[in-house]
Amino acid sequence: MKILVTVKRVVDYNVKIRVKADGSGVELANVKMSMNPFDEISVEEALRLKEAGKADEVVVVSVGPAKAEETLRTALAMGADRAILVETEDQVEPLAVAKIVKGVAEVEQPGLIIVGKQAIDDDSNQTGQMLSALLGWAQGTFASKVEISDGKATVTREVDGGLQTIDIKLPAVVTTDLRLNEPRYASLPNIMKAKKKPLDRHTPADFGVDTTARLKVLKTEEPEGRKAGIKVKSVAELVEKLKVEAGVL
């Protein structure tokens, strides 16, 4: 079985985000970019399934600018076999990404597609669900455990009330949650080897997808800073402040 894994290039999670002066978006110039953390978890899971003999090839796909090649090379250095870059300078929204990945899946015919639960830049949490709907495949979202056997995946999902375990028929789409695994680091020899692994280039038009934005960003602003706290001397003072100043009692 082949596993297809989506990886997105996003602002590194350690970077303190700055909003552009004109409010049109966040500052991306000279900012460190990395693989979306949920996608690192997806790549790790695909590699573990391959190592356990449940898959024979791991293919990674990214939709983004030419520099997304670095992100794909990171996935190849972790151990993925092959990469596909669907190159565009547009900010591609989840629906267009899902349509492109559907096109890739039709060519690649994977038995499983592993998608991150959400991209930490747009926080949409939509791509995996849309992809499963477009393909007409089963979905197991927010996975914290995935087991493959007899043409099905048993997925333990993180839901509000705790954990839910479901069986889904393959081919399927699984989206990864934080507790699924601890992604490996790429070793230096593997980073060198990854430079020679195959990377195919396409454009959204190759899959008949128009990436023109359907959403209009009206304004981007920083969240209000938190006000400094104060210490109160007694419970009576606390109650007084909650009643009079905060107006919450």
Query: Does residue 63 interact with ligand AMP by CB under 6 A?
Result: yes
Query: Could you say whether residue 171 binds ligand AMP (CB under 6 A)?
Result: no
Q: Binding to ligand AMP by residue 122, rule CB under 6 A?
A: yes
Q: CB of 69: closest distance to ligand AMP in angstroms? A: 12
Looking at the Cβ atoms of 141 and 156, the one nearer to ligand AMP is: 141
**Angle of CA points 48, 98, 3, to nearest 5°:** 20
**Candidate residues 3, 119, 143, 153; the one interacting with ligand AMP per rule CB under 6 A:** 119
Which listed range, 35-43, 48-56, 210-218, 233-241, lies at the site for ligand AMP (CB under 6 A)? 35-43
- Near ligand AMP by CB under 6 A: residue from 2, 6, 55, 72: 6
Residue 204 binds to ligand AMP (criterion: CB under 6 A): no
Of 48 and 241, which has the nearer Cβ to ligand AMP?
Answer: 48
Answer yes or no whether residue 40 interacts with ligand AMP by CB under 6 A.
no
Cβ pair 78, 58 in contact under 8 A: no
How is residue 127 written in tokens? 């791509």
- The side-by-side arrangement of strands in the sheet containing 152-159 is 162-169, 152-159, 138-149, 172-176, 112-116, 2-6, 57-64, 82-87, 199-202
Contact with ligand AMP (CB under 6 A): which of 46, 49, 94, 157? 94
Listing DSSP states for 141-199 in one string gives EEEEEEEEETTEEEEEEEETTEEEEEEEESSEEEEE-GGG--PPPPPHHHHHHHTTS-E
Q: How far is C-alpha 74 from the geometric centre of its chain's CA atoms?
A: 15
CB of 135 closer than 8 Å to CB of 174: no
Tell me if 144 contacts ligand AMP by CB under 6 A: no
Binding flag, residue 62, ligand AMP (CB under 6 A): yes
Size of the site for ligand AMP (CB under 6 A): 22
Residues 6+ positions from 68 with CB-CB distance below 8 Å: 8, 9, 62, 85, 87
Binding site for ligand AMP (CB under 6 A): 6-8, 36, 38-39, 62-64, 92, 94, 97, 115-116, 118-119, 122, 124-128
